[in-house]
Structure 1
């Protein structure tokens, strides 16, 4: 079974391994910690290493700095404080492979994948139910509307859903009309026509024009 660490446990175990590898004492780390603003005793360092201190970002930065002072051959970075095998629990929903967490701390971008979620089965069911609902709604579209493109459905933003409600239609119907008209969402088309840095008045004028076009397509009057 894969080990699952809390953030506190992972950071503490890694800090302890770094300290022991440098043949440093708890007292030496405590002295270095005081120099970087952590008023820790050797007992407090031991608490951190045992995972009994919640590691805020400022604390982690200070700990990395303190450890760099006692480790002569290496400068310690935040990824080094999560040098464990297994997975690290970020919160009650999100759990990352330790290597992905280290990459994130090195500055890589982060995108959630299904395996990161603690309740994969529930999420899969929600995705299935949502996809089935969309599929069923597509089957009910009137003949003058094509099925919406997957790209348009994926890109729907809050502004698109708000516009759909103002037209008294569901988002699938609105997406079908957007696909037929522009093959892009209303928000994307509005911003394209209004141009970069457009003020609220200009966006309002474009919105009214596009809303009228959408209504005509939805009503079959295009």
Structure 2
């Protein structure tokens, strides 16, 4: 006779197991997940992502929402809160005094969290909304990329536009505008998926946002900074050669972005 363990599973353990299932089924590495999670507001490194999958995290509602967004950003379109709390029908221990069935938890989190639509509203749906509707360009320059790329994650568009709006040099604005004209949404997504710890170091050293580096890398090379650097350096390159190529690519980035005093960095 097979004994079935009916002990309620801890919520953090359930979410961790499902996060690992969704990530591995979609072919997403821990590093890619950590990068996407940071873009969605979670202070995650690869080790933090691994700990969360082992059930050592705190699955608050804001964290679950951010995780779903991060997973979708890197290709896991099936990521939902319902999937993150899936238990094959078993009970979930929310805290020391509360256990819920999977169906009850899904109902509370996914069905009753929003007010019901009125019949008239349901019969007359409004215009289609996207998660990243194009923002309005600011200043005296045109950036077709920002206007047409509604499929690019909204945090990229918002961050880039914010950085551009803060620039005071008109020639720099025009330079960035021309740079962005060659970028496609798919290329930006590819660069984001490739980016990791090396890109964080480049961002910090050049005082660039992750969005600026991602879009500039997409426009200049069609791939992440570290990927292009390693290709140029070649297999087995020593530290000196990699350093020389890194400096040259940094210079190319700053010149493309119209940064004043690029040669002094």
The alignment's TM-score, normalised by the length of structure 1, stands at 0.45
TM-score by length of 2: 0.39
Q: Which has the larger radius of gyration?
A: 1
